[in-house]
Amino acid sequence: MRILVLALAIVLVAAGHVAAQPSCGDPPRVDDQSLKGTLDGKAKFLSGIIGGANLKGELETARTDVFSKYPQADRTRSEAYLEYMLCSFVLSDPKLSAQDKLKAIQEFRQQGHSEDDHGSPGKLAVSIALNRNASVQKPAASASSTPAASAPPTALPAEQQFTYALTQDAGVTRISYRLPYLDLVRKGGPVSGLTYDRAPFAGELPDLLVTVLNTTKHAVVLTRALLDVHSSKLVNEPVPVFDEQSQNCLRISNQGWADIVDPTLQISITRDTGNIALFASEAHTLSPPTIADATCIPLRDYVPAALRRDREVKVSGTLGYGEAGDRHTLAFATHVKLDLRAGQGVPPDELYNLFFKAGQTGQVAADLQPAQEVKPDEAAAFLLRVKTDRTSQTAMTIGFTAIDGATINGGDFVLDLFVPRIEIRNWQNAGIKRQ
């Protein structure tokens, strides 16, 4: 309803200021042809009495007629269609001047909607805000096994997490993202190399909290949400990211939606000796090709001879990029491993939850379901998520049992786990037995 009011208001403003042929917008869809015909008739009738004293009463009568005859009709859509047809009749009436048309529609709007705004039958009030609470409670994950894809994202530093905020500016409600790393990039750095698994940044798209207050006398069932997109502008901005501890080459990825054009790298490679440099740096200038997605620049030719057998080196400098006249410079510092090790990164393919009660000793077992079959010459990786019910420091040995009864020791650990006192603890632990 509110959308249509806005659309009509835009029509009116356009008619008043531009004096061009205004439009009533697109007709709302009404599939019931019989209902559609009735609404057409009522609209035509009402358009003929606009300006008359009895418009309000006739309008109410028309509504009552329609909805008593078609009790299953979509009320909102039917009213929208009625208004659309009325608008169309008025605008196409050659006997009315533009000024009269404007006045007639305004009058109809006032008559037609006064009861929604002030009338006794009540109203539907919708408010939309940014949801600042945790994400919507989802059903508890399967206790014994959850696909790795639904595991929580790896915790990233705050600098790598994007968040959303809602602001009001000159009557416009704006919901916008904030990414501290991007702020640094826009300032020219310095940025540090980022550590991440697959994506260097994490965050969730904004959840909009929709609150609907229904003070009408009838139930309303919302079946669709509509986004009326007025404009959408692509943000084409490169976002260079330097990997921390990339292997054997300086890896630069582009997390933005424009290429890193004409990059020039000024780098110096040193031993990392903390905040104070103990070794002088040797500067090098490189001009890699434009970076669309990612590039990895081998450093063998630039590593000082004395450092070539170091495990890792510090690489710092600046990255210049952008078209002539719109060049950007980003200062960075990261580390590159000079060793290449294969075999890392076998991805976990299952997640198993284990729960133990804090303060109690004993053995806790969880069935690995599905079981982990590791064939000869194969590697397997899976996640164990160990949970407890209170903040505690627990020493434990983690082990596994094979199908033939053999036990495999995974080592001794001390787990310091933090559990907030006020916490939802209703997750299930099916398949976990205390022995």
Instruction: Return the sign of the alpha-carbon dihedral for residues 262, 263, 266, 268.
Output: negative
Judged by CB under 8 A, does residue 376 bind other proteins? no
Work out which of 10, 128, 374, 415 binds other proteins, going by CB under 8 A: 374
- Spatial distance between the Cα atoms of 266 and 315, rounded to a whole number of angstroms: 10
Give Cα 415 to chain centroid, integer Å: 33
In the complex, what is the shortest distance from the CB of residue 406 to other proteins, in angstroms, rounded to a whole number?
19
Residue closer to other proteins (CB basis): 65 or 282: 282
Q: If DSSP codes are grouped into helix, strand and coil, which group holds residue 351?
A: strand
C-alpha pair distances (Å), 216 with each of 68, 124, 212: 17, 7, 12
Residue closer to other proteins (CB basis): 45 or 196: 196
In the complex, what is the shortest distance from the CB of residue 261 to other proteins, in angstroms, rounded to a whole number?
20
Q: Which residue in the block uniquely carries the two structure tokens 């490679």?
A: 269
Residue closer to other proteins (CB basis): 2 or 308: 308
Q: What's the chain's Rg over C-alpha atoms?
A: 33
In the complex, what is the shortest distance from the CB of residue 199 to other proteins, in angstroms, rounded to a whole number?
11
In the complex, what is the shortest distance from the CB of residue 146 to other proteins, in angstroms, rounded to a whole number?
15
Pairing of strands 172-178, 163-169: antiparallel
Within residues 382-411, the interface with other proteins by CB under 8 A covers: 411
- Spatial distance between the Cα atoms of 88 and 269, rounded to a whole number of angstroms: 73
Judged by CB under 8 A, does residue 53 bind other proteins? no
Residue closer to other proteins (CB basis): 177 or 400: 400
* Angle, helices 33-48/55-69, rounded to nearest 10 degrees: 170
Residue closer to other proteins (CB basis): 95 or 311: 311
Judged by CB under 8 A, does residue 239 bind other proteins? no
Instruction: Return the sign of the alpha-carbon dihedral for residues 87, 88, 94, 99.
Output: positive
- Spatial distance between the Cα atoms of 250 and 31, rounded to a whole number of angstroms: 61
Residue closer to other proteins (CB basis): 10 or 371: 371
Work out which of 270, 316, 353, 388 binds other proteins, going by CB under 8 A: 270
Q: If DSSP codes are grouped into helix, strand and coil, which group holds residue 396?
A: strand
Residue closer to other proteins (CB basis): 324 or 379: 379
Judged by CB under 8 A, does residue 365 bind other proteins? no
Read off the amino acid at residue 396. Answer: M
Near other proteins by CB under 8 A, which window of 71-79, 101-109, 163-171, 272-280?
272-280
Work out which of 60, 183, 237, 339 binds other proteins, going by CB under 8 A: 339
Near other proteins by CB under 8 A, which window of 177-185, 259-267, 373-381, 416-424?
373-381
Question: Which two structure tokens, joined as six digits, stand for 170?
Answer: 């000159």
- Spatial distance between the Cα atoms of 106 and 84, rounded to a whole number of angstroms: 13
Question: Which two structure tokens, joined as six digits, stand for 224?
Answer: 């669709």
Near other proteins by CB under 8 A, which window of 53-61, 86-94, 133-141, 376-384?
376-384
In the complex, what is the shortest distance from the CB of residue 245 to other proteins, in angstroms, rounded to a whole number?
10
- Spatial distance between the Cα atoms of 278 and 270, rounded to a whole number of angstroms: 9
Judged by CB under 8 A, does residue 344 bind other proteins? yes
Judged by CB under 8 A, does residue 308 bind other proteins? yes
- DSSP H helices, 97-205, are 98-118, 180-187
Number of residues that bind other proteins (CB under 8 A): 52
Judged by CB under 8 A, does residue 204 bind other proteins? no
Binding site for other proteins (CB under 8 A): 243, 246-249, 251, 253, 270-282, 293-296, 298, 300, 303-309, 338-347, 349, 372, 374, 377-381, 411
